[in-house]
Amino acid sequence: MKFGLHSVNLHSCAHPDAAAGLGRAAEAAGFESLWVADHVVLPDPPVAGRPMPPDMPLLDPIVTLTFLAAHTSRIRLATGVVILPQRQAAVLAKQLASLDVLSKGRLIFGLGVGWCEPEMRATGAAFAERGRIADDYLAAMRALWTQAKPSHKGRYVAFEGVQAMPRPVQTPIPIVVGGRTPPAFRRAIMQGHGWYGFGISVEETRTFVSALREAEKKVQRPPELGRLEISATPPGLDVPNQATIDAYAAVGVDRLILRPRPDMNVAALERFAADAGRALGLSK
């Protein structure tokens, strides 16, 4: 089991000292990865079923991971997840390739299609077409990252006769797909190295992993993607005990991504990372 830390760009971690302190402490404690959330804007008032306060501090994910790359040297840097349809494919491909270069190959690219219609409207993205947009954008980004003569002709983005250098250090960049719908499961099987579920219990994880396995029977998984890696963030904020870790592992989870409490200051965040590392047996 690998262990990551989520929410390193929001709440108190939206302050530079807190983000840097947690990043360094997590790396020293033996965590495998740092994960950032993504919302350009939040609905005010909140929409039903999504109680995030509209004034919640939340830094841009790519900027934050670049900042954390400068304060760490080994820990992986993951978007958990970028809302792909509200970005621009070529610009995001450049940003992520730059981050992979500056971090010396530590990026994990987590993506989703989004759920927040007011946010999509504010960024000019077509909410009803977000799944199709995401698939087109991902294909375009892969072309820029991997093709000797990049070209792409899709419904939402097209280009040829261009280059985008430098290319990423990693070939390929690991791609993790978020989402709990049949299209998200198919996207993970067909295009992702992994799938990520946020705030899910062991039983919910079992259900989603089963749905992924069923999807794999219906769509062809490219062999170069290898086995689908499963990542999950538990619903609570406590460090899981060994029985809980074993339960997640038993249903197929490869990586547990934990969260610090929102109100922790710099010292508390650093203690949390150190204590969690020891409790999980990560510290060397």
Residue pair 258/2 in contact by the 8 Å Cβ criterion:
no
pLDDT tens figures, 107-134: 999 999 999 999 999 999 999 999 999 9
Render pLDDT for 42-55 as a digit per residue (tens, 0 to 9).
Answer: 999 998 888 889 99
> Which residues form the domain of 145?
2-166+237-248+263-279
Does some domain include residue 23? Answer: yes
Other CB atoms within 10 Å distance of the CB of residue 87: 23
Tokens of residue 278, six digits: 């020891």
Determine, yes or no, domain membership for 229. Answer: no
272 domain-assigned: yes
Dihedral sign of CA atoms 14, 248, 216, 33 in order: positive
| Helices 16-29, 61-71: crossing angle, 10 deg rounding | 60
Where do we find the tokens 């419904």? 155
**Model confidence at 64: pLDDT above 90:** yes
**pLDDT, average across residues 166-192:** 97
Say if residues 184 and 112 touch (Cβ distance below 8 Å): yes
Q: Is residue 55 part of a domain?
A: yes
Is 49 a domain residue? yes
As for how many domains the chain has, the answer is: 1
In this structure, is residue 33 part of a structural domain? yes
DSSP 134-176: HHHHHHHHHHHHH-SS--EE-SS-EE-S----SPPSSSSPPEE
Q: Is the CB of residue 261 less than 8 Å from the CB of residue 237? A: yes
Cα-flanking dihedrals φ and ψ of residue 17, to 5°?
Answer: -65, -40
Q: What is the pLDDT of residues 202-229, one digit of tens each?
A: 999 999 999 999 999 999 999 999 999 9
* pLDDT mean across residues, the chain: 97
Does 198 map to a domain? no
pLDDT bracket for residue 284 (50, 70, 90)? low
CATH of the domain at 52: 3.20.20.30
| 122 domain residue, yes or no | yes
